[in-house]
Amino acid sequence: MFWKRTTKKSMEYAESIIDTVREPLIALDQDLRVVSVSRSFYEVFKVYPEETVGKLIYDLGNKQWNIPKLRELLETILPKRTTFEDYEVEHDFATIGRRIMLLNARQIKRVWGKDRIILLAIEDITERREIETGLEKANEELTDLAAELNRVARAKSEFLANMSHELRTPLNSIIGFSEVLCDQTFGELNEKQEKYVNNVLASGKHLLLLINQILDMAKVESGKMNLTLSHLSIKNLLNEISMLVEDMVGKKKLHLALEIDRDLPDIEADELKVKEIIYNLLSNAVKFTPENGKIGIRAKKSDSDIEIVVWDTGVGLAPENMEKIFEGFFRVDTPYSRVTEGTGLGLPLSKKLVELHGGRLSVLSDGLDKGTSVLLTLPIVSAVGM
Amino acid sequence: MGKKVLVVDDNANNLLLEKDLLEVAGFTVFEAENAADGLIITRREKPDIVLMDVRLPDMRGTEAARILRRDKETADIPIVFVTSSVMAEGIEEIKDIKKSGFIGKPINTRTFVEEISRFMKP
């Protein structure tokens, strides 16, 4: 009696273990008939106890388990080895569709007899495999996309180089010959001829400026614009540029005010680029200020930056145009500025060049005819290249 | 007789422009519209300087320059690349050619002669 009770107890013990396992688990006798299966087996494979226990494994679920690879494992491989791990079987089940399973098998000799039982754990890796395949595919697509982006970037920069070359070749003739004519190297021109050829020259130079600015914009945007940093006396630079616009200022009878702090420190920056920025802003101020108006530069130190304001009493900006002016090719048409005077790229490019230095540029205006101030900061010590 | 200069450029207008500027300044100007002719004229005339376009119909101006550098007779003739390839790649291409200079197009006609004179022996 005691013996029977122990057997029953250990049976219950074994079955409770089998039921606890999350993966489907089958125990087979040596004739490959099902002794016991885990609850998860019923759930996963949608079969019922009455059509399972005592049946030949191949006959389960209406002979759905008659799988050649399973037969091979149970009949050919297992008799030679007592355990087998991660044996992959793929099978299309009528009830649950195509599944990929990893089988782990183990033969156990019963203590009280010569029979063996076979434990078969089934790990359903269909979803995992799908995720893996999906990841692999996504990865491949990503690699393709990166290659495509590289190709596009290369094509774009080749296109720009070609465009630059193709436009410069005819411009060399336009600017060169009209310059020679202007200089009257090969004979005198009458007043009208001189005026017209000057127009050709000015338009040619305008076109060249446009090409250069477009290329610079493209360079900044593709991260190919490099700064050549040096220690720069910003005080001297501001004085120098204001002298450069003296002619323009004089022609429009403008008053130019310079307020540069005595203790304005030198900065670390790209001299040519900073000159270009200040020149752009100052010539905008001249362009958009009517005769007898005022323009000016204020510069001071502000923490670890220097702060420069280029201001004017000119046409100002309507609130709705505040953002548009940075979009490129936006120009305010005013009685004071002919449309052909600017490229519409000076301000967006200046902003990008300031930002490349690690500074900021913003535009302030109280509205139409209320003047404009451009505020820019440049770090005293550059963080670029650190 | 003035100094001898060879201008190699496949664009007839640009060739004429450079020729005019140089002749006004007293140079004797030879012209070639492709690299092959440029090489022949260089060997025959031994000019004081060669002005070379980079994109030529038969080969790149830089390749022609390397051929001239390999020839003892022409190895020391200064070569100035007058080119529309002003972007980084263009400048990179010519930087290892000895005794060479670079002038980007469009040229400044008012300073052109002075610029190329700087590359010539005094």
Contact B106 A160 (CB under 8 A): no
Q: Of the candidates B14, B20, B90, which has its C-beta nearest A169's C-beta?
A: B14
- Judge whether B107 is closer than 8 Å to chain A, CB to CB: yes
> Range with the lowest mean pLDDT among A183-187, A270-274, B95-99?
B95-99
Whole-angstrom CA distances from B64 to A61, B11, B40, B69, B107 are 83, 17, 11, 9, 22
Compute the Cα dihedral for A189, A193, A196, A197 and give only its sign. negative
Contact A172 B84 (CB under 8 A): yes
Residue in the block written with tokens 């052109």: B112
A353: tokens are 């060049």
Q: Is B73 helix (H, G, I), strand (E, B) or coil?
A: coil
Contacts of B88 in chain A (CB under 8 A): 224
**Domains of chain A and any CATH numbers:** 2-124 (3.30.450.20), 136-221 (1.10.287), 229-379 (3.30.565.10)
Residue A4's pLDDT is 61
Contacts of A168 in chain B (CB under 8 A): 84, 86, 104-106
Q: How far is B73 from chain A (nearest CA, A)?
A: 32
How far apart (Å, rounded) are the C-alpha atoms in residues B79 and B51? 6
At residue A128, does pLDDT exceed 60? yes
Domains of chain B, by residue range, sit at 4-117
Residue B96's pLDDT is 86
Q: Of the candidates B55, B86, B109, which has its C-beta nearest A180's C-beta?
A: B109
ipTM value = 0.91
Bond before B106 cis per omega within 30 degrees: yes
Query: How are strands ordered across the β-sheet holding A305-312?
Result: A255-260, A294-302, A305-312, A372-379, A360-364
Contacts of B110 in chain A (CB under 8 A): 179, 183
Q: What topology is assigned to B4-117 in CATH? A: Rossmann fold (3.40.50)
Beta bridge partners of B29: B5
> Range with the lowest mean pLDDT among A46-55, A242-251, A360-369?
A46-55
Average confidence score pLDDT of chain A: 87
At residue A301, does pLDDT exceed 50? yes
Compute the Cα dihedral for A318, A323, A325, A327 and give only its sign. negative
Residues A55, A30: contact at Cβ < 8 Å?
no
Identity at A51, one-letter amino acid code: E
How far apart (Å, rounded) are the C-alpha atoms in residues B74 and A342? 47
Contact B109 A179 (CB under 8 A): yes
**Across B59-84, average pLDDT:** 95
At residue B6, does pLDDT exceed 50? yes
Residue B93 CB neighbour total at 10 angstroms: 17
Contacts of B25 in chain A (CB under 8 A): none
**Across A75-89, average pLDDT:** 83
Identity at A319, one-letter amino acid code: P
Helix (H) or strand (E) holding B102: strand B100-104
- Burial code (b: 16+ CB inside 10 Å, e: under 16) for A186-203 equals eeebeeeeeeebeebbee
Q: Are strands B4-8 and B28-32 parallel, antiparallel or unpaired?
A: parallel
> Range with the lowest mean pLDDT among A136-140, A299-303, A329-333?
A329-333
> Range with the lowest mean pLDDT among A5-19, A214-228, B48-62, B96-110?
A5-19
Query: How are strands ordered across the β-sheet holding A25-29?
Result: A34-37, A25-29, A116-124, A97-109, A83-93
Residue A340's pLDDT is 47
CA trace torsion A359, A363, A364, A370 (10° rounding): 140
| pLDDT tier, A87 (very low <50, low <70, confident <90, very high otherwise) | confident
| pLDDT tier, A270 (very low <50, low <70, confident <90, very high otherwise) | very high
Q: How far is B26 from chain A (nearest CA, A)?
A: 14
Contact A173 B17 (CB under 8 A): yes
How far apart (Å, rounded) are the C-alpha atoms in residues B100 and B54? 12
Q: What is the largest CA-CA distance in chain A?
A: 135
Contacts of B13 in chain A (CB under 8 A): 172-173, 177
**Across B54-69, average pLDDT:** 94
SS3 per residue for chain A: CHHHHHHHHHHHHHHHHHHHCCCCEEEEECCCEEEEECHHHHHHHCCCHHHCCCCEHHHHHHHCCCCHHHHHHHHHHCCCCCEEEEEEEEEEECCCEEEEEEEEEEEEECCCCCCEEEEEEEEECHHHHHHHHHHHHHHHHHHHHHHHHHHHHHHHHHHHHHHHHHHHHHHHHHHHHHHHHHCCCCCCCCHHHHHHHHHHHHHHHHHHHHHHHHHHHHHHHCCCCCCCEEEECHHHHHHHHHHHCHHHHHHCCCEEEEEECCCCCCEEEEHHHHHHHHHHHHHHHHHCCCCCCEEEEEEEEECCEEEEEEEECCCCCCHHHCCHHHCCCCCCCECCECHHHCCCCHHHHHHHHHHHCCCEEEEECCCCCCCEEEEEEEECCCCCCC
Q: Of the candidates B20, B85, B106, which has its C-beta nearest A172's C-beta?
A: B106
**Across A309-326, average pLDDT:** 89
